[in-house]
Amino acid sequence: MIRSVLLGTGSALPQACVSNDELAKRVDTSDEWIRERTGITQRYIAGEGETTGSLATEAAQAALDDAGLTIGDIDLIVLATATPDNTFPATATQVQHKLGGKGFPAFDVAAVCSGFLYALSTADAMIRAGMAKRAIVIGAETFSRILDWEDRATCVLFGDGAGAFVIEARNVARDEAEKAPGIISSRLHAEGEHGDMLYVDGGPSTTGQVGKLRMKGREVFRHAVANLSSVLAEVLGDAGYQPSDIDWIVPHQANLRILDATARKLGLPMERVVVTVDRHANTSAASVPLAFDVARKDGRIKQGDLVMLEAMGGGFTWGAALMRT
C-alpha cells in the first residue's frame, strides 16, 4: 500500500512581533485579560510587502530545504488559506511560480482554521490515488488584514504566519504498516448550519468587499472542545490506537484553554501537547504546520513518533490526522 511520508517542514513569520501590552495601547484590553482567557502573550503581524503568498513561499522553500529537495522534485502544491493574496488566481499558483515550478497542479483549499487538515488530507488522498508523488502542503494566513481592529473580542486573538510540509509517496508492506512512517488515518467534517458563529461579513459575490471577521467566541469554544474530542476518538479508532500511544498532539492553536480541555478529555497530559499559541496567537490554517515545525526543529518531535494533528474552525469545519514521523 502507499503512504504519504513526511520529508521536511518549514515555517515563516512576519518581521513585526506585537506584544499584548503594545496592543493594549491601541485597543481597550489588557495583557492580563488576554493571557488569562487565551494564553496568548504576543503575535506576529504582516507589514508592507508581507502577504499570505510571500509567507507561504518562504515556508515552502524552508520545507524543501529541510527535505533536501528542489521545486523540480515536486508535482503538487495544496495551499490552505482564508486570506488569499487575490480572489483569484489561487495563491498556490503564485507560490509555484515564485518557487520556480511549472506545469503541475497547484490549488487553494478554504476551510479556515482547519484548512491545513483539509489540505493535508487532500494531498494524501491524491498521493495514495497515484495522482502525485511529492507534494508541498501549506497553511498560510494574514488574518490581521481581515480583523476589525475596533472589536477587542476578536482582534487580540489572531496573528499571521505560514507553515509547510513536504510529503512523498512510499510503498509500505502491510506487515510493516504499524511501525512505518506516514499518514495513517485522517477524518474531516463540516456543519454549515453554524456558519454565522465564525465568518467574514463580506465577499466577492455578496458585498464586493473583503469584509471583517465576526465571531461568537463562547459558542465556538463549546463546539470546538466537543467536535475535537469526537474526531480524535474517531481517528484513533480507525487506526486501532489508544490515546496513551500518542507521542505528540499538535492542535490548532486557538486558545490554551481549548488545548487544555481537549487534552484532558483525551486523558493526555499537557506535556504531550505542542503549544505555540502563546507566541504566535491564532494563525488559522497556518497554526498546525507552524507548531509542528517549531516542535520538530527544537527536537521534541522525533523520527518514529506517533503524532496527532487536529483543528476546528469557521464553517464549522474540523478534522484530525494521525501520522508517524
Q: Which of 9, 81, 93, 255 binds ligand UT7 (CB under 6 A)?
A: 255
190 lies in the binding site for ligand UT7 (CB under 6 A): no
- Asked if residues 29 and 23 have their Cβ atoms less than 8 Å apart, the reply is yes
Q: How far is the CB of 222 from ligand UT7 (least distance, A)?
A: 9
Residue 313 binds ligand UT7 (CB under 6 A): yes
Could you tell me which stretch among 6-14, 31-39, 95-103, 129-137 binds ligand UT7 (CB under 6 A)?
31-39
Q: Could you give phi then psi for residue 185, rounded to 5 degrees?
A: -160, 145
Cβ proximity of 316 and 118 under 8 Å: no
- Give the nearest distance from C-beta 72 to ligand UT7 in angstroms: 36
Q: Which of 20, 113, 194, 255 is catalytic?
A: 113
Closest approach of Cβ 220 to ligand UT7, in Å? 4
Tell me if the bond preceding 316 is cis, omega within 30° of 0. Answer: yes
Our CB check for ligand UT7 shows the closer of 63 and 112 to be: 112
CA–CA gap between residue 231 and residue 243 (Å, rounded): 12
Measure the CA–CA gap between 236 and 121, rounded to whole angstroms: 16
φ, ψ of residue 48 to 5 degrees: the values are -55, 135
Amino acid letter, residue 266: L
To the query of whether residue 227 is one of the catalytic residues in this protein, the response is: no
Query: Is 113 among the residues known to form the active site?
Result: yes
Question: Of the candidates 80, 99, 258, 261, which one interacts with ligand UT7 according to CB under 6 A?
Answer: 258
Separation CA 42–CA 19 (nearest Å): 4
Total residue length of the chain: 325
188-219 burial, b for 16+ CB within 10 Å, e for fewer? Answer: bbeeeebeebbbbeeeeeeeeeeebbbbebee
Annotated active-site residue 194? The verdict is no
Q: Does the protein bind ligand UT7 through residue 25 (CB under 6 A)?
A: no
Dist. CA 308–CA 273, nearest whole Å: 10
Q: Which of 89, 221, 238, 300 binds ligand UT7 (CB under 6 A)?
A: 221
Q: Is 169 helix (H, G, I), strand (E, B) or coil?
A: strand
Catalytic residue among 194, 223, 252, 280: 252
Q: In what order do the strands lie in the sheet with 248-251?
A: 182-190, 317-324, 306-313, 248-251
Residue 224 interacting with ligand UT7 (CB under 6 A):
yes
Among 217, 233, 241, 265, binds ligand UT7 (CB under 6 A): 217
Q: Contact between 229 and ligand UT7 (CB under 6 A)?
A: no
Q: From 95-103, 180-188, 217-225, 294-302, give the range in contact with ligand UT7 by CB under 6 A.
A: 217-225
> Is 220 near ligand UT7 (CB under 6 A)?
yes
Closest CA to 45 of 160, 162, 212: 160
Residues assigned a catalytic role:
113, 252, 282
Binding site for ligand UT7 (CB under 6 A): 29, 33, 37-38, 113, 152-153, 156-157, 217-218, 220-221, 224, 254-255, 258, 282, 313
